[in-house]
Amino acid sequence: MSTTIEAEIRQLYAESGDAALVSEQLLKRWDANVLSADDIRSLTRFMIHCGLYPVVLRQVRRCLKRDMEVPWSAFIEVLARMNVQLEPIEVDAIFEGVAHQTQTFEADMMFDLVESGGLDSFDSRPAEYRVQKINHVRRIHAEKRADLQRQLEYARVNRLLSQEKRLLDEIQAFDPSDSELSRQKDMFEFREAQEIVENALAHSPPKAEMERKFGRLSSDLRAAAKPIVREIRHRAESATEPQLYDLALMLIFMDLHDEGVKLLEKRRLSPRIDWLLLETLIQGRQYAAALGEVESLEVKYAGDSEAPFVLTYARARALWGLGDTITAIELMKSLARVRPTYRSATTLLQQWSEEAP
């Protein structure tokens, strides 16, 4: 569908209020052969909707005389709406014209013709071809989706986050109501947030300095942060899910993890809010609360195949923070063994093995 010419049709019609005048202006461009097939389809639908049947028929005759592509579906639709009764010889002539133009323009003109059901009562061929067209479109759809899925798996294994995000959006466009794709997008957004935090930590000062940063803010900094926190709390009360997520991230990057936890606990608007809350508890060194949250999320996401991996990773980190290094390492080992591509788990396991007493 050509959204550009549709916008132009709306503008011209709003200015003149005369459908015939709008059609006349755009037909000049059709005659000049500067309209695409989608443009022509949009224009003929507009003319048919406005009842300009004679205009459509005149244009069809003009196309035939000039050996231009004929808008067959529009032609058939007009005949049907005018209740024209076709003789078998006339129906055959239409199919001969379609076959001739298919050969001339090296494009399957039947694809266009069967968009209208106007010939179905006269001949069985349009309905039969329509089934073939639907099957063809479905096959192309399945092949395209399978190709995108292969690209997605490659991006996921190689941690190409920007490509993974783009591919998830493309795949979801095939079926916006697919709950599995929605779940995958939620999990991706969690991993993306986790990657942001991990990258920030990787480029942070040494561990000793990090320990100091995680301590409570000094009184003067806390006083300076109060107006900002008040504003964030106020905005969070009516924020949409994406806005709430961004506000929480702002608090996290300001090292105000307690405030971030309060913000997220108050409005659990989506799965990724749950996952961000869990990550914030761990980053804020609220390890006992994090373990409690892990248990709650195990019940809440019992049917999610990815949840056990994420929750095992979180439980191990919380246990490490509480000093239970042996259990934490064993959990991380099991996770790395089951999911060897989970690079965060492998990296953390190596670090812990070096630090463990």
Same domain assignment for residues 340 and 197: yes
Report yes or no on 276 lying in a domain.
yes
DSSP state of 176: T
Give pLDDT, residue 191.
66
DSSP state of 122: T
Would you list the DSSP string of 13-33? HHHH--HHHHHHHHHHHHHTT
Mean pLDDT of the chain: 83
In angstroms, how far is CA 90 from the centroid of its own chain?
Answer: 47
Q: Which residues does 22 contact at the CB level (< 8 Å), separation at least 6?
A: 9, 12, 13, 16, 46
Same domain assignment for residues 272 and 172: no
The residue among 43 and 215 whose pLDDT is bigger is 43
Give pLDDT, residue 219.
63
For residues 139 and 339, what is the distance between their CA atoms, to the nearest angstrom?
33
Same domain assignment for residues 225 and 319: yes
Report yes or no on 130 lying in a domain.
no
Report yes or no on 196 lying in a domain.
yes
pLDDT tens digits along 281-313: 998 888 999 999 999 998 888 888 888 888 889
Report yes or no on 131 lying in a domain.
no
Phi, psi of 270 (to 5 degrees): -165, 165
Query: Amino acid letter at 188?
Result: F
Contact 236, 263 (CB under 8 A): yes
Same domain assignment for residues 295 and 206: yes
Say which range, 55-64, 83-92, 124-133, 175-184, has the weakest mean pLDDT: 175-184
Same domain assignment for residues 193 and 341: yes
Residue 217 has pLDDT above 60, yes or no: no
Report yes or no on 170 lying in a domain.
yes
Q: Max Cα separation, the chain? A: 93
Same domain assignment for residues 145 and 267: no
For residues 157 and 342, what is the distance between their CA atoms, to the nearest angstrom?
9
pLDDT tens digits along 61-84: 999 898 899 999 999 999 999 999
Give pLDDT, residue 167.
84
What residue numbers bound the domain in which 162 lies? Answer: 138-177
Same domain assignment for residues 206 and 148: no
Residue 186 has pLDDT above 80, yes or no: no
Same domain assignment for residues 107 and 241: no
Tokens of 176: 């916006």
Query: Amino acid letter at 250?
Result: M
For the chain, the domain total comes to: 3
Give pLDDT, residue 213.
44
Compute the Cα dihedral for 250, 299, 335, 210 and give only its sign.
Answer: positive
Report yes or no on 132 lying in a domain.
no
Report yes or no on 129 lying in a domain.
no
Residue 261 has pLDDT above 70, yes or no: yes
The total number of residues written for the chain in this structure = 357
CATH assignment at residue 245: 1.25.40.10
Say which range, 13-22, 73-82, 187-196, has the weakest mean pLDDT: 187-196
Same domain assignment for residues 228 and 340: yes
Same domain assignment for residues 260 and 316: yes
Report yes or no on 133 lying in a domain.
no
Same domain assignment for residues 159 and 58: no
Give pLDDT, residue 172.
79
State how far the alpha carbon of 356 is from the alpha carbons of 40, 54, 119, 329, 334, in Å.
Answer: 71, 86, 79, 9, 17
Give pLDDT, residue 211.
41
Contact 100, 72 (CB under 8 A): no
Mean predicted confidence (pLDDT) in 117-126: 90
Same domain assignment for residues 170 and 78: no
